[in-house]
Amino acid sequence: MNERPSLDHLYPPMPAALGGDPYTAAVPPIYQSSLFLFDSYAELEDVFAGRSSRPIYSRGDNPTVRLLERRIAEMEGTEEARAFSSGMGAIAATVLAFVQPGDRIVTVRHVYSDAFRFFEKVLKRFGVRVDYIDGTDTDRLVAAIPGARLVYLESPTSMVFELQDLPAIAKAAREHGVLTIVDNSWATPLFQQPLAAGTDIVIHAASKYLGGQSDTVAGLVAGSRDHIATINREIYPYTGAKLSPFEAWLVLRNIETLPLRMRHHHDAGLKVAAWLAAHAHVRRVMHPAFADHPGRATLRGYGGIFSFEVSEATDVAIFVDALRLIRIGVSWGGPESLVVPAKAALSISPETNVFARFGVSDRTIRLNIGLHQPEDVIADLRQAFAVAAR
């Protein structure tokens, strides 16, 4: 395993609640209003003419949602952000804001499965070509950049957790005037800051670690004022994928505990990964902390979701069914510990099956360690291996 990074940068805690509230409430209020009123013609005209940024209607802007947008921009060390009703809403809107028919985009194999489906089903229908490249092969990826409109990255990738060399890719893209977008949901801004590595736009499925409680679906996009202005101008108000004030408030609330939760996921993930790597029935563990893991890390800590491949000595379905503490479930980033066996996902229809297309073994099992103690997760895995031994 690589040297364990220090997590000292997680403290002191995040800045106190954002506000400007007349009662100095410690927690921001929820502006549960679709509509904002004006006292005069002049006030309304100021908004339409761009002289004032007051909210007028919550499909465009809402004060609670704006607090969350300011918060994520600050955490990613950038100027602006936009919140969406899901991670996919954020991904689709961001990519669509920048592409035209006839464009080509470059992305990584093993990109999140619904991002892959969005590329295959939607982008291709509008005449955008998509190149899927092994993201650990920086030379190949960099060679594909000239002439592309944008590079869409996810480091680490879904299911197999392959890493990309963000600084090298960002540098090459900049030289060719190509936009770079990074899905940073796995690492969170606490463990990786893609914009500091030179990329342009960062995306979060806030449904995962930022939300952290499995109680909301939300997406965030952060970047420079210009890039977010393009998203606002080209697409945001017209596709209507806005986040509700209540869900923005949930994410804001749960971001306050992010450093504590990420510290737990980091420690617990490393312990369970090390235990799995030493297990006789495990072929390999796909965790970015391992020295032989493919790709170059720009990580300052590790999330608690990774995969492992079991040997022929384990029956995958019996193993998964034997788990007690660890449940079967497709999302991640909340308190629950979860597994997803790639074998089940491989039954998705072949033309939009990212796992089948890019060769994920049916012996791969994705494990999300929630807020459980690593010893309890290990005990559950141990007994399931015993039940599933052939």
Ligand X SMILES: Cc1ncc(COP(=O)(O)O)c(C=O)c1O
For residue 280, the minimal CB distance to ligand X (Å) is 31
Identified binder of ligand X from the candidate list 207, 244, 298, 337, rule CB under 6 A: 207
Sole binder of ligand X in the list 135, 219, 294, 341 (CB under 6 A): 219
Beta carbons within 8 Å of 278's beta carbon, 6+ residues apart: none
Q: How far is the CB of 206 from ligand X (least distance, A)?
A: 7
**Which is closer to ligand X, CB of 219 or CB of 301?**
219
Residue number with CB closer to ligand X (89 or 259): 89
Residue 183 binds ligand X, judged by CB under 6 A: yes
Report the nearest approach of ligand X to the CB of residue 84 (Å): 8
Indicate the residue among 158 and 337 with the shorter CB distance to ligand X. 158
100, 147 contact by CB (below 8 A): no
Instruction: State residue 26 phi and psi, 5-degree precision.
Output: -70, -25
Task: Give the contacts of 297 (CB within 8 A, at least 6 positions apart).
Answer: 2, 163, 288
Distance separating alpha carbons of residues 309 and 312, to the nearest angstrom: 10
In the chain, the N- to C-terminal Cα span, in Å, equals 30
Which of the residues 152 through 171 are near ligand X (CB under 6 A)?
A: 154, 158
For ligand X, give the closer residue by CB, 119 or 385. Answer: 119
Of residues 94 and 158, the one with the C-beta less far from ligand X: 158
**How many Cβ atoms sit within 10 Å of the Cβ of residue 115?**
23
Site mask for ligand X (CB under 6 A), range 89-118, x = bound: -----------------------x------
Q: How far is the CB of 248 from ligand X (least distance, A)?
A: 14
Give residue 10's Cα distance to chain centre. Answer: 19
370 binds ligand X (CB under 6 A): no
Among 200, 198, 212, 307, CA closest to 263: 212
Distances (CA, A) of 52 to 44, 109, 198: 9, 44, 32
Q: How far is residue 234 from each of residues 90, 115, 124, measured CA to CA in Å?
A: 13, 20, 19
Stretch that binds ligand X, among 82-90, 168-176, 270-278, 343-351 (CB under 6 A): 82-90
Closest approach, Cβ 26 to ligand X, in A, equals 28
Give the length of the chain: 390
> Is the C-alpha dihedral spanning 153, 155, 161, 165 positive or negative?
positive
Q: How many residues bind ligand X (CB under 6 A)?
A: 13
Binding of ligand X at residue 87 (CB under 6 A)?
yes
* Smallest separation, CB 45 to ligand X (Å): 37
Strands, sheet with 327-328, edge to edge from the N-terminal-most edge strand: 282-286, 305-310, 364-368, 338-341, 327-328
307 in contact with ligand X (CB under 6 A): no
Kindly identify the residues of this chain, within the stretch 308-367, that bind ligand X according to CB under 6 A.
331
Q: Give the separation between CA 186 and CA 184, rounded to whole angstroms.
A: 6
**Nearer to ligand X by C-beta: 27 or 328?**
328
Among 67, 72, 75, 88, binds ligand X (CB under 6 A): 88
Site for ligand X, rule CB under 6 A: 86-88, 112, 154, 158, 183, 185, 205, 207, 217, 219, 331
